[in-house]
Amino acid sequence: MSLERSLPVLGSAAESAPRQRRLPPWLKRPMPTEQMLETRKLINGLKLNTVCVEARCPNLTECWSRGTATFMVLGDECTRRCGFCAVGTKKPQAPDLEEPQRLAEAAAHLALRHVVITSVARDDLEDEGATHFANCITATREKLPHATIEVLVPDFHGRRELIEIVVRARPEVYNHNIETVARLQKKARPAARYERTLGVLKTAKEIDPRIKTKSGLMVGLGETWDELVQTMRDLRAYDCEMITIGQYLRPGDEKYLPVERYYTPEEFDRLADVARELGFGAVASGPFVRSSYFAETLFAETDYLRA
């Protein structure tokens, strides 16, 4: 039986989503805790940015309550404007050369065993921020030599020499999100390219075959099920080993892309089954799954620590 035929047709198990509607009951989040406030105090005190805040992540309460966060370096203003992203867009300031040390200090204070570092796109910089990523990895290694490190990077315009700067700093996971299916790329991320994203993952693996490559997909932007399956096939063709699949949630007003459809938890389970059947070694699929959601747990699903 083909993968497509073994899955439900879109629209058969979940309602279409009008432009404005109440969230379904499975899209509710927990209340803040004391630990969440402590995490916020630490991050604010060290003048660090997090994707949790800047991208208005719905998992902030849960993750900060567990004493973990995804650090966002190179400022809080992006040089690109994606239709799904709440991060601000304007000319950023120069990189903060002390940021890698502050990031490492925060990771050590939180006693993180798996550190996730991401950034805004910095097309204004000659190296697009690659050296800063490498410096963050190095500083974190010095503070937390036994922690694993995951980077969620921009595409660096596919430039091999920039990808190599980050890979040579030896993060355990090199994550670059494809975000959506090929047909919707221009609509969702006009400055990116579907094939370029695949090429970034391929290049990282070529430079260091030991590195784990990872990518993420949003659903609910108007894609078809067959397109999702094809995207997963394309990622596997480039030996991407880890995948996250989550529900797109509009982060603000009408300037952001609308939600075309809410997937049910059961459909996310079916997508996870497809991903595993296609050969992904680690899969996270659910309404609130994001690129770095329970990243340590997902990394543990791979065979890296047993190799």
pLDDT digits (tens, 9 = 90+) for 155-211: 999 999 999 999 999 999 999 999 999 999 999 999 999 999 999 999 999 999 999
Q: Do 235 and 215 touch, CB atoms closer than 8 A?
A: yes
Helix (H) or strand (E) holding 215: strand 212-219
Which residues, at least 6 apart from 15, have a Cβ–Cβ distance to it below 8 Å? 261, 262
pTM over 0.85: no
Pairing between strand 148-152 and 114-119? parallel
In this structure, what token pair is assigned to residue 219? 């659903």
User: Which pLDDT score, from 0 to 100, does residue 26 have?
Assistant: 54
CA distances from 208 to 68, 173, 202, 300 (A): 28, 11, 10, 20
| pLDDT one-digit tens code per residue, 250-276 | 877 788 899 999 999 999 999 999 999
DSSP 14-34: S-B--SS-PPPTT---PPP-H
Return phi, psi of residue 16, to 5°. -65, 150
Q: Which domains are delineated in the chain?
A: 34-306 (3.20.20.70)
- Rounded Cα distance between 78 and 91, Å, is 7
**HSE toward the beta carbon, residue 151, CA cutoff 13 A:** 30
